[in-house]
Amino acid sequence: MDGESEPEAELLRLSGIRKVFWSDDLETHALSDVHLEIARGEYVAIEGPSGSGKTTLLSILGLLEPPTSGEHWFQGRPVQHLSARERARIRNREIGFIFQNFNLIGDLTVYENAELPLLYRGLSSGERRERVLSALERVQMAHTVSHLPSQLSGGQQQRVAVARAVAGAPAVLLADEPTGSLDSKSGDGVMDLLDELHAAGTTICIVTHNHDYARRARRAIHLFDGRVVDDQAHSAV
């Protein structure tokens, strides 16, 4: 695509990642010996059947979950043994999240929802305002700053969630089934927005069950039973 950024230096790397969950006497191996590298500027889709480990992998990439074993680098720094506080600091400053159910706070306005992650950074109110309004303008939702989430459609709520994620200028945007709660038209609109963000240089990693949406990414990683079974690049559709 013309104007589309090319991948640059390594941003994320996993080596021999294993994730095990325990409950009572049950041991569940969610990920087994995962090796993965994602470069700056890439657009990656993670696919696989339910229970294959997609969301667990995204949670580890986003420092929401530590691996049981293996090595994890973020921007060239090993992060698998960081404290919960250090991991939270990196998430707030460097990682943007988009979730299937939007995760907007019902009694906060659109502006306040988009501003929320920035409150923990110690930014001035003027800088927060500039970032939030710029992000909302970017997703064509600047006209809704005083609306509550309940006054918006599902597609509009997801656009606000995208604005919240990009307002902090994260190094990577992680999206977990971002169209899963939307009708096809709204889903297409959100995917068009992600395409635009990638074309502008944003690194994106998306989990999706929708193969057509996965084909929009420039690389598809397939998981099965917690293992990477295929990793291939493809051109845009």
Q: What is the pLDDT of residue 46?
A: 97
Q: Dihedrals φ, ψ of 69, to 5°? A: -155, 165
Query: Coil, strand, or helix at residue 75?
Result: coil
Q: What is the pLDDT of residue 234?
A: 76
Q: How far apart are CA 53 and CA 228, in angstroms?
A: 10
With b for 16 or more beta-carbon neighbours within 10 A and e for fewer, the 170-198 pattern comes to bbbbbbbbbbebbeeebbebbbebbbebb
Q: What is the pLDDT of residue 236?
A: 57
Q: What is the pLDDT of residue 170?
A: 93
Extents of the domains making up the chain: 10-103+170-233
Q: What is the pLDDT of residue 24?
A: 81
pLDDT confidence tier of residue 6, bands split at 50, 70 and 90 = very low
Taking 80 as the threshold, does the pLDDT of residue 4 lie above it? no
Q: How far apart are CA 157 and CA 113, in angstroms?
A: 10
For 14-46, how does the pLDDT look when each residue is reduced to its tens digit (9 = 90+)? Answer: 999 999 999 888 899 999 999 999 999 999 999
**Residues in contact with 184: Cβ distance below 8 Å, sequence separation at least 6, in sequence order:** none
Mean pLDDT of the chain: 92
If you ran DSSP here, which 8-state letter would residue 5 be given?
Answer: P
Taking 60 as the threshold, does the pLDDT of residue 60 lie above it? yes
Q: How far apart are CA 87 and CA 192, in angstroms?
A: 31
**What's the CATH number for 10-103+170-233?**
3.40.50.300
Q: What is the pLDDT of residue 3?
A: 46
For 183-216, how does the pLDDT look when each residue is reduced to its tens digit (9 = 90+)? Answer: 999 999 999 999 999 999 999 999 998 989 999 9
- From the list 146, 148, 131, 68, the residue with the least C-alpha distance to 96 is 131
pLDDT confidence tier of residue 121, bands split at 50, 70 and 90 = confident
Q: What is the pLDDT of residue 5?
A: 44
Taking 90 as the threshold, does the pLDDT of residue 122 lie above it? no
Q: Dihedrals φ, ψ of 47, to 5°? A: -120, 165
Q: How far apart are CA 113 and CA 148, in angstroms?
A: 9
Q: What mean pLDDT do residues 97-102 have?
A: 94
**Residues in contact with 221: Cβ distance below 8 Å, sequence separation at least 6, in sequence order:** 36, 44, 45, 46, 47, 228, 230, 231
Q: What mean pLDDT do residues 213-231 have?
A: 95
pLDDT confidence tier of residue 7, bands split at 50, 70 and 90 = very low
pLDDT confidence tier of residue 2, bands split at 50, 70 and 90 = very low
pTM > 0.85: yes
E strand or H helix at 70, and its extent? strand 69-74
DSSP track, 155-209: HHHHHHHHHHHHTT--SEEEEESTTTTS-HHHHHHHHHHHHHHHHTT--EEEE-S
Q: Which two tokens stand for residue 85?
A: 């506080």
For 135-148, how does the pLDDT look when each residue is reduced to its tens digit (9 = 90+)? Answer: 999 999 999 999 99
Q: What is the pLDDT of residue 237?
A: 54
Q: What is the pLDDT of residue 8?
A: 56
Query: Coil, strand, or helix at residue 151?
Result: helix
- From the list 35, 88, 43, 33, the residue with the least C-alpha distance to 64 is 88
